[in-house]
Structure 1
Amino acid sequence: MRKRAKFVEEEIVADLLPVMNVMFLLVPLLLQAMEFATMASVNVAPPRFTAERSEAKQEDSPQDKPLNLKVIVLEDGFRISADGQQDGAEAGKGTDSKAPTIPLAKPGTPLTDYDRYDYGALEQKAKSYKDLFPNETTVTISAEGNVPMQALISTMDALAGRTCKLGRALKGENIPADCYFWQPIVEGGAG
């Protein structure tokens, strides 16, 4: 019979030098890559609180008054209101305040299809408001609870202007003319 050799424990020396060399080369490469990586962001601002203005100042020109544009994404379209008045609703006509201002582009499609909304009409409405109020950049957006998140994001894109690029404006250049309401405030729940 053969004798089994006794198991001898050896101490293994870990050679970390190759790993350290790789890390030494990776750190500058990652730092340099960060300089070229472009970041996209959606500017979101909290609601602003201001002291009430005097009655004389509020009766200036309509462009001096705040627009208070609000867009609600409903299951059946967009409801738009500005300065507390629903767009399309005439005083004393008894217009349903729950009806959408911009109906669906594709009625009858499932709720999960976010392309059912008419984003082109919403962008045109935003452009018309921007022409009336050129200094306004803020819009308040809310949605019903079962509206898909992508519909909310596409709504923000349409209100900002689908061709709006703010990269250079954030570095000090003028805001492009095709940027409408690029500072959304997202509220919880449709009101």
Structure 2
Amino acid sequence: MRRRKKFEGVEIEADLLPVMNVMFLLIPLLLSVMEYASMSSINVSPPRFSAASAETKPDDAPQDKPLNLKVMVLEDGFRISADAQQDGAEAGKATDSKAPTIPLARPGTPLGDYSRYDYAALEERVQRYKQAFPHETTVTISAESNIPMQTIIDTMDTLAGRDCKLSRALKGEEVPANCYFWQPVLEAGAG
């Protein structure tokens, strides 16, 4: 019968010097890169609910009617409605509620293509709404289920204003005039 050798435990020293050298070089590198990295954010508000009393009197109603601007991103363009009436609808005339208010700029292009939608026409329309309702900042955005997220983000950027910079406004300064509807509320599904 053979005897097994007794296992002898040997202490192994961990050599941390190479790891520390790499970390010593990475920390200043990461700090210097963060100085040049731009951060951006999109302010999105949740839907607002109110528990209004059923006994609301007409005298209690606000004098200025809210705009209630809604933009639906469809496969065939943008549908804009304000105060529960589709944009472009004239009084007394029936319009197709499913037709886009602003048709595609380039029909036939794939859904993910930026040039597919007419963002210039959307911004021009939004400027008119902002001139009529200068204190409104909220817009409700909805989209069909197959619309890419980048298209929704481009739509939010257009509704806020392509040259809108809110960094100073968020620090307490006045909101710039080139900022239109910069508080989007995302709603599920275009209806």
What's the TM-score bracket when you normalise by the shorter of the two chains? 0.7 to 0.9
SS in 2 for 1:180: coil
Q: CA deviation at 1:19?
A: 3.4
Partner of 1:115: 115
Q: With structure 2 as the length reference, what TM-score do the two structures score? A: 0.81
SS in 2 for 1:105: coil
Counterpart-to-counterpart distance in 2, 1:58 and 1:129:
22
Q: Given the superposition, is the C-alpha separation of residues 15 and 161 from structure 1 closer, same or farther in structure 2, using an over 3 Å criterion?
A: same
Partner of 1:167: 167
Q: Given the superposition, is the C-alpha separation of residues 21 and 107 from structure 1 closer, same or farther in structure 2, using an over 3 Å criterion?
A: closer
| Partner deviation per Cα, 1:17-63 (whole Å, 9 max, x = no partner) | 55346646755775676576542000000011234464224362xxx
Partner of 1:55: 58
Partner of 1:183: 183
SS in 1 for 2:59: helix
Q: Given the superposition, is the C-alpha separation of residues 107 and 35 from structure 1 closer, same or farther in structure 2, using an over 3 Å criterion?
A: closer
Structure 2 letter corresponding to 1:138: T
Q: CA deviation at 1:111?
A: 2.9
Structure 2 letter corresponding to 1:133: F
Structure 2 letter corresponding to 1:58: A
Q: Given the superposition, is the C-alpha separation of residues 185 and 19 from structure 1 closer, same or farther in structure 2, using an over 3 Å criterion?
A: same
Structure 2: runs of 5 or more not aligned? 1-7
Structure 1 letter corresponding to 2:156: M
Count of residue pairs brought into register by the alignment: 181
Counterpart-to-counterpart distance in 1, 2:62 and 2:37:
48
Structure 1 letter corresponding to 2:105: A
SS in 1 for 2:42: coil
Q: With structure 1 as the length reference, what TM-score do the two structures score? A: 0.81
Counterpart-to-counterpart distance in 2, 1:65 and 1:151:
30
Structure 1: runs of 5 or more not aligned? 1-7
Contact 2:71 2:81 in 1 (8 A): yes
Counterpart-to-counterpart distance in 2, 1:179 and 1:126:
10
Counterpart-to-counterpart distance in 2, 1:140 and 1:102:
17
Contact 2:112 2:150 in 1 (8 A): no
Partner of 1:3: none
Structure 1 letter corresponding to 2:101: T
Structure 1 letter corresponding to 2:170: L
